[in-house]
Amino acid sequence: MKVATWNVNSLTARWPRVQEWIRRHEPDVVLLQETKQGDEKFPSAALSQLGYDAAHFGQGRWNGVAILSRIGLGDVQRGLEGDAEARFIGATCQGLRVYSCYVPNGRALDDPHYAYKLRWLESLQFLLARRDRTQPVMVGGDFNVALSDFDVYDPAVFQGATHVSPAEREALRAVVATGLVDLGRLFHADEPSYTWWDYRNGSFHRGWGLRIDYLLCDTVTATRVSDVYVDRDARKGERPSDHAPVVAELNW
Partner DNA sequence: ATGTCCGTAACCTACGGA
Min dist. Cβ of residue 201 to DNA (A):
4
Residues 18 and 11 sit within 8 Å (Cβ to Cβ): yes
Residues 219-248 that bind DNA (CB under 7 A): 239
Is residue 69 within 8 A of residue 96, CB to CB? The reply is no
202 binds DNA (CB under 7 A): yes
Nearer to DNA, 40 or 132 (CB): 40
Percent helix, strand and coil across the chain, each to the nearest 5 = 30, 30, 40
- Is 119 a binding residue for DNA by CB under 7 A? The answer is no
Q: Closer to DNA at the Cβ: 49 or 201?
A: 201
Of positions 105, 123, 169, 173, contacts DNA by CB under 7 A:
105
Q: Does 77 bind DNA (CB under 7 A)?
A: no
Residue 20 contacts DNA per CB under 7 A: no
Q: Is 247 left (phi over 0), alpha (psi -120 to 50) or beta?
A: beta
Contacts of 111 (CB under 8 A, 6+ apart): none
| Shortest distance, position 179 Cβ to DNA, whole Å | 29
Q: Nearer Cβ to DNA, position 153 or 187?
A: 153
Among 191, 199, 207, 227, binds DNA (CB under 7 A): 199
Taking only Cα atoms into account, the Rg of the chain, rounded to an integer number of angstroms, comes to 17
- Coil, strand or helix: which one is 145? coil
Position among 198, 220, 226, 236 found at the interface with DNA (CB under 7 A): 198
CB 242 within 8 Å of CB 10 = no
Residue closer to DNA, measured from CB, 119 or 224: 119
Taking the CB of residue 251, how many other CB atoms lie within 10 A of it? Answer: 8
3 half-sphere exposure, CB direction, 13 A CA radius: 30
Interacting residues of 222 by C-beta distance below 8 A, sequence separation 6+: 181, 183, 186
Size of the site for DNA (CB under 7 A): 23
> Among 62, 155, 226, 236, which residue interacts with DNA (rule: CB under 7 A)?
62
For position 60 contacting DNA by CB under 7 A, the verdict is yes
Does 208 contact DNA by CB under 7 A? yes
Is 10 a binding residue for DNA by CB under 7 A? The answer is yes
Cβ of residue 164: shortest distance to DNA, in angstroms?
Answer: 12
- Judged by CB under 7 A, does residue 133 bind DNA? no
Q: Among residues 157, 170, 223, 226, which is the contact residue for DNA, using CB under 7 A?
A: 157
Closest residue by Cα to residue 124 from 81, 77, 75, 154: 81
Residue 14 or 70 with smaller CB distance to DNA? 14
**Pairwise CA distance, residues 17 & 25, whole Å:** 12
- List of residues contacting DNA (CB under 7 A): 9-10, 12-14, 36, 60-62, 104-105, 107, 113, 154, 157, 198-203, 208, 239
